[in-house]
Every structure is written in structure tokens, then in C-alpha cells.
Amino acid sequence: MISTEKLTVLLENTQEIAKEAGAFIRRERQHFNLDRVEHKGFNDLVSYVDKEAERLIVNRLALIFPEAGFITEEGTNTTQAEVFNWVIDPLDGTTNFIHGVPIFCVSIALMERDEVVLGVVYEVNLHECFYAMKGGGAFCNDTRIRVSEAKTLSESLIATGFPYSNFEMIDKYLAALKSLLTTSHGARRFGSAAVDLCYVAAGRVEGFFEYNLNSYDVAAGTLIVAEAGGSVTDFSGGNDFVFGRQILATNRKIHEEILSDLKKVWD
């Protein structure tokens, strides 16, 4: 088990690395050329900015914690270790970035076996650095954050993500969305799952749900939500939300209410 002292040092260094990558992304956005966009799959976009940011992050993390392996979105390093692995999304919200919509971030998590023990999400445009380590609370720019105190879905704002490539579950998703839209303050689609999770942690929205996500989209954010006092599960109420490709994160108080709606649709 990693010590609290070691984790504290890693967390501080990881924040600086995320900010360095964020500064690179911000500079590149100023003169970004759409001709340099690639397609990994239908509506699955990537650019040289994603790849170069990931190389920067991987190289820096390898220096501060050489024994850890990597799970990366762009595959610049796919060497996994038995105990510790960094889980990296160098640019979560690539489609937003490409179109000039100012909501995108750097997401970095450290997992010890199957548990996230450190998470950093740096929102590039607002210069907001969300971070947490296991047992240490959640913060944004050195200010402690907590989930919302809203007690019911009827007084809650929900974030979600629309499917963009895997449409097999779209009817179920729309049914779930319809139910939530008619029983809450509404829904928002920001275009970055990592940002969505941090907004739950900071009390800006009460809940977030999405399916067909990858580990690097959510790993860091799930710890930040948990350390801010929230709940995170998959759609069945279980713990397979990092690699299980479906996630529900809430302020805890409305978790069962949303989960009940999701179960009706997804089951």
C-alpha cells in the first residue's frame, strides 16, 4: 500500500504536470488547424494536440513514479504494471476543443490495483484544478469542495453525455433522459465526462450519468466525487464504474432516486 506521504508528493507533482499539459493545449488552441484532425472511429476525433499532450504527461509521470504503468487514451505508452497504473486522458473534450467550445480538460488518475487513489482534473479554460487523494478530501484550486445539499431530484440539475458512436442503447438512454427531464431542474451536456464529475463534486450539478465511457474518461473524477462526499456506481448500483462503461455519480442524497429510474430502463 502506498503511504500518505508518498501520495501527497505525487498529488502535488501531478497537479503541476496537468497544468503544464493544459498550458500546451491552451497555446495550441489559439492557432489550431482543422486539417490536422484525425478519425479514430465514427465521430471519435483526435488531433496532434491530444497525442503531444499525452507524451508530455507520460514522460513527466514516468520520472516521478517509475514503478507505475500506464493506461492511456492515445496509446503513447501501454505498458501496464501489476500494482500501480496511471490512467490518462490528455484532452477530455476533444470535440469541444476542435470546434472551439471552451470546455475541455486534462484528466490523470493513479490506480493501486483496482482502486483509484489519486485524481487530478485540470479544466484548461477556467484554470480550475480539481484534485483528490484517497482519504484526503476533494479540492479545487486549494479550496475544499463538497457536493450539493439538494435532497430530491425535483430540486436538482443533472449532467449527461449524448452517445456519439455506439447507438445500440440510444432508445434506453433517451427513455432515461426523458424521465429525468420531467422530474428535475433539467439536464446539461458539457461534452467532457471528467468535467461533469468535477461539477458534481463541486456542487454545481447534483448528478451525472453516461454510458459507453472509458476508464481514462472517469477514473480521476470518480475519486474527486467520492472525496467530496458523493456516491458513484454503475447503473446496477455496483462498483464497476471505472472499467464497466456506465456511470452514475451524485451528491448521494438523490442517488437512489436516479438509480431507480435507470434500473427501470436499463434492466
- Would the annotation count 28 as a binding residue? no
Residue 177's region, left for phi above 0, alpha for psi from -120 to 50, else beta, is alpha
Residue 234 assigned as binding residue:
no
Strand segments, DSSP code E, in the chain are: 37-41, 44-47, 69-72, 84-92, 105-112, 115-123, 128-133, 138-140, 143-144, 158-160, 187-188, 207-211, 231-233, 246-250
Is 240 annotated to bind a ligand? Reply is no
Is residue 146 within 8 Å of 203, Cβ to Cβ?
A: yes
Q: Please choose, from the candidates 243, 257, 249, 244, the residue with its C-alpha nearest in 3D space to the C-alpha of residue 229.
A: 249
DSSP labels for 59-75? HHHHHH-TT-EEEESS-
- According to the annotation, is 180 in a ligand binding site? no
- Determine the residue type at 168: E
89 is in an annotated binding site: yes
Rounded to whole angstroms, how far apart are CA atoms 225 and 214?
A: 17
Inter-residue contact 245 to 265 (CB < 8 Å): no
Binding-site residues from annotation: 73, 89, 91-92, 217
Binding-site residues from annotation for Mg(2+): 73, 89, 91-92, 217
